[in-house]
Amino acid sequence: MEHNLGMQPGMERPSVNPQSNPFGNVFYGAGNGIIRGGLGAYGEKFLGSSSNFMHSNITHYLSDPQYYFHVNAEYVRNKLRVILFPFLHRGHWTRITEPVAGRLSYKPPIHDINAPDLYIPFMAFGTYVVLNGFYLGILGRFTPEALSLQFTKGLLSWLFQILLLKGLLHAMGSVEAPLLDVVAYSGYVFATMSLAVLARLFWGFSYYFMLPWICICTGVFLVKTMKRVLLSSGRGYERHSSRQHYLLLFMVLAQFPLLFWLGKVSV
User: Does 7 fall in a domain?
Assistant: no
State the pLDDT at residue 1: 43
**Boundary-marking domain end, from 61, 84, 109:** 61
Are residues 45 and 78 both part of a single domain?
no
Are residues 137 and 44 both part of a single domain?
no
User: Does 21 fall in a domain?
Assistant: no
* Domain range for 130: 65-263
User: Does 151 fall in a domain?
Assistant: yes
CA distances from 109 to 73, 85, 220 (A): 11, 19, 21
Are residues 219 and 249 both part of a single domain?
yes
Are residues 51 and 109 both part of a single domain?
no
User: Does 108 fall in a domain?
Assistant: yes
CA distances from 226 to 76, 104, 176, 177 (A): 21, 21, 12, 10
State the pLDDT at residue 159: 97
Are residues 34 and 160 both part of a single domain?
no
- The band of 65, judged by pLDDT with boundaries at 50, 70 and 90, is confident
Mean pLDDT, range 13-32, rounded to an integer = 49
State the pLDDT at residue 41: 52
User: Does 9 fall in a domain?
Assistant: no
Tell me how long the chain is. 267
User: Does 22 fall in a domain?
Assistant: no
Are residues 39 and 148 both part of a single domain?
no
Is the Cα dihedral 208, 226, 164, 173 positive or negative? positive
Are residues 35 and 91 both part of a single domain?
no
Q: Is the pLDDT of residue 5 over 60?
A: no
CA distance 117 to 191: 13
Strand-pairing partners, residue 98, are: 105
Are residues 106 and 181 both part of a single domain?
yes
Q: Is the pLDDT of residue 40 over 60?
A: no
Are residues 251 and 179 both part of a single domain?
yes
Q: Is the pLDDT of residue 2 over 70?
A: no
Are residues 134 and 179 both part of a single domain?
yes
Q: Is the pLDDT of residue 32 over 70?
A: no
Q: Is the pLDDT of residue 181 over 60?
A: yes
Are residues 53 and 185 both part of a single domain?
no
Indicate the residue type of 90: R
State the pLDDT at residue 115: 94
Are residues 42 and 110 both part of a single domain?
no
- Distance between first and last Cα of the chain: 99
Looking at per-residue confidence, does 216 or 177 come out higher?
216
Q: What's the total number of domains in the chain? A: 2
